[in-house]
Chain A
C-alpha cells in the first residue's frame, strides 16, 4: 500500500536553531501534501497545504515566515521551522492523499520536535 516516510523522527535542539523535516511519498506521486501539528492529548491541526511547483497554502493563524514549506518534487515536501523556540515544540506530521478522488490520506510517522 501507499507509504509516506517522514524524517527525522525526533529532533532535540537549542532555541534559535532552524530545523528541517522531510516528508516523502515512497511508491506514489503527490502533487499535494499536508502538514499537521499535534500537541499532547490533542488532535491533529492542519498547518498548511504543500503544493508541488507553487506556494504553500497556510491555515489561518500559522506564520508562513516561521514555518517554511517547499515542495520540490512530486515525492518530497519539506517543512522548516525557522529560529525555533520552546513554544514550537510539538509533534509534526505530514500526509499525502492516495491516488483518485476522495482517497484516504496516508500519514508519516511524525517528528517529535523538542526545543530547549
Chain B
C-alpha cells in the first residue's frame, strides 16, 4: 500500500533560519511526488512535482529534492510569509493523490 509520512509535524523557525522538511514514502512505481502549500482556510497551492530520484526543483526560497525513499523541502532564509502547512503527496493510479499529514511551519519575525 502506498504511504506518505511527513516530519516534523510542526516546526518553528526564526526569520532567516534555514531548515528542511521531510517526506518519506513507499510506493509501487512512482508516477510523481508533489509538494503543496496550504494556508489556513484555503485549498492547497501547487509548488513542485518531482518524478525521478536525483531530481531537484527550486522556487524562490524553496528547493525540493527526491531520492528513492524520501523527498526534502529545503527552505533557505525563510520569511514570515512562508508560514503555512506544507503537504507532500504521491500520485496513485487514475490521478488520485495520497497526502502525508503535513508539516505546519511557523516563521517568527
Contact = CB atoms under 8 A, between A and B. Distances in A.
Interface of A: 4, 6, 32, 34, 41-46, 49, 91, 93, 95, 97, 102, 104-110, 112
Interface of B: 31-32, 34, 36, 41-46, 49, 51, 87, 91, 94-102, 104
Q: Is the interface of B mostly helix, strand, loop or mixed?
A: mixed
Given A49-B96, A102-B31, A42 B44 contact: no
B87 A105 contact: no
Q: Is the interface of A mostly helix, strand, loop or mixed?
A: strand
B42 A110 contact: yes
Q: In the complex, which of the residues B31, B34, B91, B95 has the most CB atoms of chain A within 10 Å of its own CB atom?
A: B95
A44 B87 contact: yes
A46 B87 contact: no
The 4 closest A-B pairs by CB, nearest first: A107-B43, A43-B99, A104-B46, A102-B32
B51 A44 contact: no
Contacts, number: 57
Contacts of A49: 94, 96
B43 A6 contact: yes
Given A34-B96, A46-B97, A102 B49 contact: yes
Nearest to B44: A107
A16 B91 CA distance: 36
